[in-house]
Amino acid sequence: MTDQKTDEGASPWWRHPIMWMVVGGPAAVVVAGCVTAWIAVHGADPVVDADYYRHGVEINRTLGAKAMLPAQTGRNHAMTPARDLPPAKP
């Protein structure tokens, strides 16, 4: 007599939860990689202007005098001796 095992209680491979844990992790990574690639291609940042330096210089010219005014006023006030300060307002 031969001893043959029967797989009466065995279920198909897709019904085992551990198989889905093993396959699910890499599958999720592949899907996330595809989504990331799609976002990178369709949501690309604009190219930096070829003449960015000239534009920056123009912005600095227009804002230069106004932007440094509070800093220069504060610096000059800090350097003013106490005897030359105007009297405090009550």
DSSP string across 35-46: HHHHHHHHTPPP
Residue 59 lies in a domain: yes
Residue 57 lies in a domain: yes
Tens digit of pLDDT for each residue in 23-63? 999 999 999 999 999 999 998 777 778 888 888 888 877 76
Residue 35 lies in a domain: yes
The domain of 69 spans 16-43+52-77
Confidence at residue 52, expressed as pLDDT on a 0 to 100 scale: 83
Residue 67 lies in a domain: yes
Confidence at residue 30, expressed as pLDDT on a 0 to 100 scale: 98
Name 55's Cβ contacts closer than 8 Å, sequence gap at least 6: 49
Q: pTM higher than 0.75, yes or no?
A: no
Residue 60 lies in a domain: yes
Token readout for 11 is: 């279920």
Residue 87 lies in a domain: no
Residue 36 lies in a domain: yes
Number of domains the chain is built from: 1
Residue 72 lies in a domain: yes
